[in-house]
Every structure is written in structure tokens, then in C-alpha cells.
Amino acid sequence: MRAAVRVLLPLAAASLFAASNINVNFHEFDVPTPNSRPHDPAVAPDGALWYTGQLANKLGRVDPKTGVIKEYQLKTADSGPHGLTADADGNIWFTANFKEYIGKLNPKTGDVQEFPIDPAAKGPHTPVFDQQGTLWFTVQQGNFVGKLDPKTGKVTLKESPTPRSVPYGIAINSKGVPYFCAFV
């Protein structure tokens, strides 16, 4: 985290020279679990900041107003949560990078629901919702792009047309078309 902030500070300073009326502040939060490898932040509808604690098998919620952090332990050991996103109801959906499932955390109850994917779909990575509420995700090592219907739990996988392309990030355009990055 500290190295990333050092990189961002010169970029922020350069931006300040370009637009002198912009004020940039940085605030760091120390996560409660050391060495958890926190990453892939996302903002929920209530304004809370969420992160994955990949090596600690946790999801974390930061209240940016108070700095209070609450962590949620996942029920399947060594799931390796990676990417996450919030749905319109404030549930947190995440990819279990080490265990081949998509998870849904209900922050009100702490309950986690798991949606298994094909064992060949190793390394689920980045989740994103489209405008209809379908969850799309990439699968790095398995070379897939997938979608999950939250209403039925049905998971559909489509193999990337380029072998070993390692699908990574994904975004949905205004027409509902998914685009993903590939490491080829």
C-alpha cells in the first residue's frame, strides 16, 4: 500500500499543477489482519469501502467516515477471495480465486452463499454486474468468461477464443456487452 501511495503522490502533484483549484487528500486505513493481501476495493451503495483479504480468507468493510473496519470470515477455508462488487441491495459478491466459486456475502447477517463453477474454471477473478443484474466474471487460469444469474444461481461459462489468454478485468458497456482484458 505504501509503495502505491508513493507512486500516486507524484501523479497527484502533477495534476495539481494542471488544475490549481483541485485539493487532493490521502487517508490510509490499516487492516486488522496483517499480511492478508488486501486489494480490489469497491464501494457499496451505502458508501462503505469493501476489500478482499485474499490470504486471510476474509472480506473487509471500511466506514470511510469513522474509519471503523469490520472483517467477515469466509466459510470455505483458503477460498482466496479476489475481486468483489456490490449489488443494488448492498450484498457483496466476490470471486473465490483459489476454490472455483462465486460468493455472495449478506453484510446484515454475515451469511455467505456459494455458487460453484466448473472445476476446470480455475482462478475466477473479476466480477461486475450488467444493467439487468446479471453478474459477469473472468476466469484467469481456466480461460473463461462467465455469467451468473443471481435469481436462479445458474452459471454459464464461455471459453475465450484465444488459448491461454488469461482473462483478467471485465467491464460492461451501456448496451450490456461485456469487454474483458486478456494477457496474450
CB atoms within 10 A of CB 152: 7
Residue spans of the domains in the chain: they are 1-30, 32-182
Give per-residue pLDDT as tens, 71-114: 999 999 999 999 999 999 999 999 999 999 999 999 999 999 99
Known catalytic membership, residue 39:
no
Q: What is the pLDDT of residue 136?
A: 98
Options 27, 39, 82, 125, the catalytic residue:
125
Distances (CA, A) of 158 to 96, 106, 124, 128, 181: 18, 28, 13, 16, 15
Return the C-alpha cell found at 66: 469513522
Q: Of the candidates 78, 79, 102, 87, which has an alpha carbon nearest to the alpha carbon of residue 154?
A: 102
Number of Cβ atoms within 10 Å of the Cβ of 116: 13
- Give the pTM: 0.86
Rounded to whole angstroms, how far apart are CA atoms 129 and 148?
A: 10
32-182 classified as CATH 2.130.10.10:
yes
Strands in the chain per DSSP E: 38-43, 49-53, 58-62, 69-73, 81-86, 92-96, 101-105, 112-116, 124-129, 135-139, 144-148, 155-159, 167-172, 178-182
Q: Which three cell numbers stand for residue 38?
A: 488486501
Is the Cβ–Cβ distance between 124 and 101 less than 8 Å?
yes
pLDDT digits (tens, 9 = 90+) for 15-73: 555 556 788 888 888 999 999 999 899 999 999 999 999 999 999 999 999 999 999 99
